[in-house]
Structure 1
Amino acid sequence: MSDNNAQVIADFQHNGGKPGGYFTNIPVMLLYTIGAKSGLERLSPLMYLRLATGGPWHIFATDGGAPKNPAWFYNLVAHPDAEIEIGDGTTIERIAVHAQVVEGTEGAAIFAEQAKRYPNFGVYAEQTTRKAIPVVELKRR
């Protein structure tokens, strides 16, 4: 885990699920997956999009525009049942979820909404050599 991710996780946990700094007022979750190769629990802090109260959460395999998908994406493909932590600034709730990749026009529309809200996502899409950045939907189990 990178030092930056470790700092975001510590900040998230210390502040009831609302990290500060760069992530002030940005929706961040902690994603717990099972490693595709290792079988060990992995933890990733991620920005997310939730289009409707009570609806699914969407996460984006940008990896900062890198040519490959991030490890957490492969972990979810191999083991789609995962857990997330979401906080409101006071309480952090751990939620069991099931992951599914959203493809085609639906995935593109969700990604476009995220890029509209956070323009760096559009930059990542332009930088990567991947055909598209995967969008993953997380539904409560």
Structure 2
Amino acid sequence: MRNPLPAVARALGTRSWLLRLATVVVWADARLHRLTRGRVSLVGIAGLPSLRLTTLGRRSGLPRSNNLLYYPDGDEYVVTGSNWGKPNDPAWTFNLRAHPDATVEVRGKALPVRARELKGREYDLMWRALLEFWPGYGMERAVAQRDLPVFVLTPDGSQPDE
């Protein structure tokens, strides 16, 4: 039997009232992550892929962690700076731009990654895939009135030669 929760989550993700619950959802997800030592998240309960991204603060240099929905693309993780439809990019995007080396935790396992922000045609192609994966990004982009930054997180050791 197929899990119906991802389809339900995707449908709810296109409802504007969900954006008003952002603070509560983020708070509850952080507590759930702490209680389960990273093995369970609200996004994960909904049957969607989630990770905990730890970046270095661009000003403080201190570790900063955020639970995020991600789009799996081969062995890479694609994350979107939607910030729940707010007009500004989330802090973690500024941190990744300043310090692209980060860590992701998926199902309780930590993995070093390197971030690369998508631009131009590469962004456009990924944006289409992201909208199919999570239609709510379209609503969040419209509400925010900005392009949502998209980053590819590549596990260390899988970096293409530059």
Shorter chain as denominator, the TM-score bin is: 0.7 to 0.9
TM-score, structure 2 normalization: 0.74
Alignment RMSD, CA only? 2.0
Partner of 1:75: 95
Counting only pairs closer than 5 Å after superposition, residues 9-48 of structure 1 correspond to structure 2 as: 9-13=30-34, 14=36, 17-20=39-42, 23-48=45-70
Q: Which runs of 4+ in 1 moved over 4 A?
A: none
Which protein is bigger by CA-based radius of gyration?
A: 2
Matched, 1:99 2:120: no
Equivalenced residues, count: 133
> Residue type matched to 1:68 in 2?
N
TM-score, structure 1 normalization: 0.84
SS at match of 2:72: coil
Q: Percent identity between the aligned chains?
A: 26
SS at match of 1:68: coil
Change (3 A) 1:81 1:101: same
- Pick aligned residue for 2:104 from 56, 69, 84: 84
Query: Hey, what's the Cα distance between the residues in 1 that align with 2:128 and 2:96?
Result: 22
SS at match of 1:82: strand
Give structure 2 stretches of 5+ with no counterpart: 1-22, 157-162
Partner of 2:72: 50
Give structure 1 stretches of 5+ with no counterpart: none
Structure with greater proportional helix content: 2
Matched, 1:8 2:29: yes
Contact 1:28 1:46 in 2 (8 A): yes
> Residue deviations 1:38-68, cap 9 Å, x none?
111101000000122xx21100011112221
